[in-house]
Amino acid sequence: MAQIPENQLMDLIRKDIDEEHYSRAELKILQWLEARPENPHAWSYLGFLYSKTGKRWACHNAHGRSVALAPNEPSFLSNYGNSHIGVGKAQQGIPYLRKAVELAPTSLRYRQNLAYILRDNCEYEEAATLQRQILAEDPDNHAKRFDLGCILLHLRKLDEAWKYYESRPVRKDRQSWFDQVAVLIQGKILRINLC
Protein backbone atom coordinates (compact mmCIF):
# COMPACT_ATOMS: atom_id res chain seq x y z
CA MET A 1 0.00 0.00 0.00
CA ALA A 2 2.93 2.36 0.54
CA GLN A 3 3.58 2.57 -3.23
CA ILE A 4 0.14 4.02 -3.97
CA PRO A 5 -0.25 7.75 -3.27
CA GLU A 6 -2.67 8.34 -0.41
CA ASN A 7 -5.23 10.25 -2.51
CA GLN A 8 -5.39 7.39 -5.02
CA LEU A 9 -5.71 4.87 -2.20
CA MET A 10 -8.62 6.83 -0.71
CA ASP A 11 -10.31 6.90 -4.13
CA LEU A 12 -9.90 3.12 -4.48
CA ILE A 13 -11.33 2.53 -1.02
CA ARG A 14 -14.28 4.86 -1.70
CA LYS A 15 -14.95 3.01 -4.94
CA ASP A 16 -14.86 -0.37 -3.17
CA ILE A 17 -17.27 0.90 -0.51
CA ASP A 18 -19.60 2.45 -3.11
CA GLU A 19 -19.65 -0.85 -5.01
CA GLU A 20 -20.21 -2.72 -1.71
CA HIS A 21 -16.91 -4.60 -1.92
CA TYR A 22 -16.56 -4.23 1.83
CA SER A 23 -14.03 -6.99 2.50
CA ARG A 24 -11.76 -5.64 -0.23
CA ALA A 25 -12.06 -2.11 1.18
CA GLU A 26 -11.38 -3.36 4.71
CA LEU A 27 -8.25 -5.20 3.55
CA LYS A 28 -6.93 -2.02 1.89
CA ILE A 29 -7.66 0.08 4.98
CA LEU A 30 -6.04 -2.43 7.35
CA GLN A 31 -2.94 -2.58 5.15
CA TRP A 32 -2.90 1.22 5.12
CA LEU A 33 -3.12 1.25 8.93
CA GLU A 34 -0.38 -1.34 9.18
CA ALA A 35 1.91 0.95 7.19
CA ARG A 36 0.71 4.17 8.89
CA PRO A 37 -1.09 3.43 12.17
CA GLU A 38 -1.17 7.10 13.15
CA ASN A 39 -3.03 8.22 10.02
CA PRO A 40 -6.37 9.76 11.06
CA HIS A 41 -7.78 9.47 7.53
CA ALA A 42 -7.30 5.72 7.54
CA TRP A 43 -9.13 5.44 10.87
CA SER A 44 -11.92 7.64 9.54
CA TYR A 45 -12.30 5.46 6.46
CA LEU A 46 -12.39 2.37 8.67
CA GLY A 47 -15.14 4.02 10.74
CA PHE A 48 -17.10 4.83 7.59
CA LEU A 49 -16.71 1.26 6.35
CA TYR A 50 -17.92 -0.14 9.67
CA SER A 51 -20.92 2.22 9.65
CA LYS A 52 -21.88 0.84 6.21
CA THR A 53 -21.58 -2.76 7.46
CA GLY A 54 -23.53 -2.19 10.69
CA LYS A 55 -20.58 -2.61 13.06
CA ARG A 56 -21.61 0.27 15.28
CA TRP A 57 -19.11 -0.07 18.11
CA ALA A 58 -16.23 -0.70 15.70
CA CYS A 59 -17.34 2.38 13.74
CA HIS A 60 -17.49 4.44 16.93
CA ASN A 61 -14.05 3.28 18.07
CA ALA A 62 -12.43 3.92 14.68
CA HIS A 63 -13.88 7.44 14.50
CA GLY A 64 -12.68 7.99 18.07
CA ARG A 65 -9.14 7.10 16.99
CA SER A 66 -9.31 9.58 14.10
CA VAL A 67 -10.36 12.35 16.52
CA ALA A 68 -7.61 11.40 18.97
CA LEU A 69 -5.07 11.78 16.16
CA ALA A 70 -6.54 14.98 14.67
CA PRO A 71 -8.70 16.67 17.33
CA ASN A 72 -9.34 19.82 15.27
CA GLU A 73 -10.49 18.27 12.01
CA PRO A 74 -14.21 19.08 11.61
CA SER A 75 -15.06 16.06 9.46
CA PHE A 76 -13.55 13.66 12.01
CA LEU A 77 -15.37 15.43 14.86
CA SER A 78 -18.68 15.30 12.98
CA ASN A 79 -18.27 11.60 12.17
CA TYR A 80 -17.37 10.79 15.76
CA GLY A 81 -20.28 12.86 17.09
CA ASN A 82 -22.68 11.05 14.76
CA SER A 83 -21.23 7.65 15.68
CA HIS A 84 -22.44 8.22 19.24
CA ILE A 85 -26.01 7.86 17.97
CA GLY A 86 -25.33 4.32 16.72
CA VAL A 87 -24.10 3.20 20.13
CA GLY A 88 -26.94 4.84 22.06
CA LYS A 89 -24.95 7.80 23.37
CA ALA A 90 -26.29 10.66 21.26
CA GLN A 91 -26.09 13.17 24.12
CA GLN A 92 -22.35 12.50 24.45
CA GLY A 93 -21.85 13.17 20.74
CA ILE A 94 -23.21 16.73 20.92
CA PRO A 95 -19.93 18.37 22.08
CA TYR A 96 -18.08 16.87 19.09
CA LEU A 97 -20.73 18.14 16.69
CA ARG A 98 -20.64 21.58 18.31
CA LYS A 99 -16.87 21.71 17.91
CA ALA A 100 -17.16 20.68 14.23
CA VAL A 101 -19.60 23.56 13.67
CA GLU A 102 -17.33 25.93 15.58
CA LEU A 103 -14.34 24.96 13.41
CA ALA A 104 -16.32 25.00 10.14
CA PRO A 105 -19.21 27.43 10.70
CA THR A 106 -20.14 27.62 7.02
CA SER A 107 -20.68 23.87 6.69
CA LEU A 108 -24.35 23.23 6.13
CA ARG A 109 -23.90 19.50 6.74
CA TYR A 110 -22.30 19.94 10.16
CA ARG A 111 -24.95 22.44 11.28
CA GLN A 112 -27.74 20.16 10.04
CA ASN A 113 -26.27 17.14 11.85
CA LEU A 114 -26.05 19.15 15.06
CA ALA A 115 -29.60 20.50 14.67
CA TYR A 116 -31.01 16.98 14.26
CA ILE A 117 -29.24 15.63 17.33
CA LEU A 118 -30.18 18.67 19.41
CA ARG A 119 -33.81 18.25 18.36
CA ASP A 120 -33.76 14.55 19.20
CA ASN A 121 -32.27 15.37 22.62
CA CYS A 122 -34.89 18.03 23.40
CA GLU A 123 -32.52 21.00 23.05
CA TYR A 124 -35.05 22.82 20.90
CA GLU A 125 -33.92 26.45 21.30
CA GLU A 126 -30.44 25.77 19.93
CA ALA A 127 -31.85 23.45 17.24
CA ALA A 128 -34.28 26.18 16.15
CA THR A 129 -31.46 28.73 15.95
CA LEU A 130 -29.43 26.42 13.71
CA GLN A 131 -32.45 25.63 11.50
CA ARG A 132 -33.14 29.34 11.07
CA GLN A 133 -29.52 29.88 9.96
CA ILE A 134 -29.83 27.00 7.51
CA LEU A 135 -33.10 28.38 6.13
CA ALA A 136 -31.58 31.84 5.75
CA GLU A 137 -29.16 30.30 3.25
CA ASP A 138 -31.83 28.22 1.47
CA PRO A 139 -35.25 29.77 2.17
CA ASP A 140 -37.12 27.68 -0.42
CA ASN A 141 -36.01 24.33 0.98
CA HIS A 142 -39.34 22.84 2.07
CA ALA A 143 -37.74 19.94 3.95
CA LYS A 144 -35.76 22.37 6.12
CA ARG A 145 -38.87 24.52 6.62
CA PHE A 146 -40.67 21.38 7.81
CA ASP A 147 -37.80 20.57 10.20
CA LEU A 148 -37.99 24.05 11.71
CA GLY A 149 -41.76 23.74 11.99
CA CYS A 150 -41.36 20.49 13.95
CA ILE A 151 -38.86 22.10 16.31
CA LEU A 152 -41.16 25.08 16.85
CA LEU A 153 -43.98 22.68 17.69
CA HIS A 154 -41.87 21.32 20.52
CA LEU A 155 -41.30 24.87 21.71
CA ARG A 156 -45.09 25.36 21.58
CA LYS A 157 -44.69 28.28 19.16
CA LEU A 158 -47.73 27.22 17.14
CA ASP A 159 -48.31 30.43 15.20
CA GLU A 160 -44.69 30.58 14.10
CA ALA A 161 -44.66 26.84 13.30
CA TRP A 162 -47.73 27.29 11.11
CA LYS A 163 -45.89 29.90 9.04
CA TYR A 164 -43.46 27.18 7.94
CA TYR A 165 -46.20 24.69 7.17
CA GLU A 166 -48.52 26.92 5.18
CA SER A 167 -45.86 27.56 2.53
CA ARG A 168 -45.52 23.85 1.78
CA PRO A 169 -46.27 22.49 -1.68
CA VAL A 170 -49.78 21.03 -1.80
CA ARG A 171 -50.34 17.48 -3.03
CA LYS A 172 -53.81 16.80 -4.34
CA ASP A 173 -53.45 13.01 -4.66
CA ARG A 174 -53.35 12.17 -0.95
CA GLN A 175 -53.29 13.68 2.49
CA SER A 176 -49.76 13.27 3.76
CA TRP A 177 -48.57 13.16 7.32
CA PHE A 178 -47.31 16.67 6.65
CA ASP A 179 -50.88 17.83 5.90
CA GLN A 180 -52.21 16.07 8.99
CA VAL A 181 -49.68 17.89 11.18
CA ALA A 182 -50.60 21.17 9.48
CA VAL A 183 -54.27 20.59 10.36
CA LEU A 184 -53.31 19.89 13.97
CA ILE A 185 -51.31 23.10 14.15
CA GLN A 186 -54.00 25.16 12.50
CA GLY A 187 -56.53 23.81 15.01
CA LYS A 188 -54.09 24.56 17.86
CA ILE A 189 -54.04 20.90 18.87
CA LEU A 190 -50.67 19.65 19.95
CA ARG A 191 -50.43 15.86 20.05
CA ILE A 192 -46.74 15.12 20.01
CA ASN A 193 -44.54 13.80 22.74
CA LEU A 194 -42.86 16.80 24.34
CA CYS A 195 -39.82 16.67 26.59
* Residue 109 C-alpha from the chain's centroid: 7
pLDDT at 187: 47
pTM (2 decimals)?
0.78
Q: What does the alpha-carbon distance between residue 50 and residue 4 come to, in Å, rounded to a whole number?
A: 23
Judged against a pLDDT cut of 60, whether residue 172 lies above it is answered with: no
Per-residue confidence band for 188, with pLDDT thresholds at 50, 70 and 90: very low
Q: Which of 77-86, 104-113, 171-180 has the lowest mean pLDDT?
A: 171-180
Q: Which of 104, 103, 106, 101 is nearest to 116 (CA)?
A: 101
Q: Is the dihedral of CA 109, 44, 38, 13 positive or negative?
A: negative
Judged against a pLDDT cut of 90, whether residue 43 lies above it is answered with: yes
With 0-12 CB in 10 A as exposed, 13-18 as middle and 19+ as buried, what is 21? Answer: middle
